[in-house]
C-alpha cells in the first residue's frame, strides 16, 4: 500500500496541482503549473513523476488524439487517494506516535467534516473507516 511518507516532494506537488485543477491536465500543463510555483523542473521529470503516480493508482490517465498524435491528460483520483493514503497514514501515525495520536486524527477529521468533536466516540483501537474521511 502506498504511504503518504513514501510519496516524494515532487509527487506531492503534482498531486496538489491536479487536486486544484478544474479539468484533466497534460504533462505540459503540469510543468507550467510547477514552474509558476517557482520550481525550475524539466518536462521529463514531470512526465516521469505523473506516470509514477498513475502506476501507484493515485492518478488517472486519459488518452486522446490531438492533431493526429496521441496525448495524455491526467486527473487526480480522489477516491483512490483517500482509500490508499488515509488508512496508511493513520497506521503509520499509530505506529510512530501511538494510539492517542490516531484517535486525535480521527477526531480532527470528524470535526473538520461535521463540525462535531466526536466527544465520546469510541475510537480506541479502531482503524479509521473510509467513510470517516
Closest CA to 18 of 52, 72, 56, 60: 60
pLDDT single digits (tens) 48-86: 999 999 998 899 999 999 889 999 999 998 888 888 877
pLDDT single digits (tens) 17-60: 999 999 999 999 999 999 999 989 999 999 999 999 999 889 99
Q: What is the pTM of this model?
A: 0.66
Please give the sequence-ordered ranges of beta strands (E in DSSP) within 2-130, or none if there are none: 59-66, 69-76
What is the distance between the alpha carbons of residues 129 and 110, in angstroms, rounded to a whole number? 11
Weakest-pLDDT range from 9-13, 20-24, 127-131: 127-131
**pLDDT score, position 119:** 52
Residue 89, pLDDT above cutoff 50: yes
Name all domains of the chain by residue range, CATH numbers in brackets.
4-77 (1.10.10.10), 79-132 (no CATH)
| Residue corresponding to grid cell 486525535 | 104
**pLDDT score, position 32:** 97
Number of alpha carbons in the 13 Å side-chain half-sphere of residue 121: 19
The more confidently predicted of residues 125 and 62 is 62
| Phi, psi dihedrals of residue 128, rounded to the nearest 5° | -55, 135
What average pLDDT does range 81-110 have in this prediction?
Answer: 81
What is the distance between the alpha carbons of residues 27 and 36, in angstroms, rounded to a whole number? 14
Amino acid at each position: 500500500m502506498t504511504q503518504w511518507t513514501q510519496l516524494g516532494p515532487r509527487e506531492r506537488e503534482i498531486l496538489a496541482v491536479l487536486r486544484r485543477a478544474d479539468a484533466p491536465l497534460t504533462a505540459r500543463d503540469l510543468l507550467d503549473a510547477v514552474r509558476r510555483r517557482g520550481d525550475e523542473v524539466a518536462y521529463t521529470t514531470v512526465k516521469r513523476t505523473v506516470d509514477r503516480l498513475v502506476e501507484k493508482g493515485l492518478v488517472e490517465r486519459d488518452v486522446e488524439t490531438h492533431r493526429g498524435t496521441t496525448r495524455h491528460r491526467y486527473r487526480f483520483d480522489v477516491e483512490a487517494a483517500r482509500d490508499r493514503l488515509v488508512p496508511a497514514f493513520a497506521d503509520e501515525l499509530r505506529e510512530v506516535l501511538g494510539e492517542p495520536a490516531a484517535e486525535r486524527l480521527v477526531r480532527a477529521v470528524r470535526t473538520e467534516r461535521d463540525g462535531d468533536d466526536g466527544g465520546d466516540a469510541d475510537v480506541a483501537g479502531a482503524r479509521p473507516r473510509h467513510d470517516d474521511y
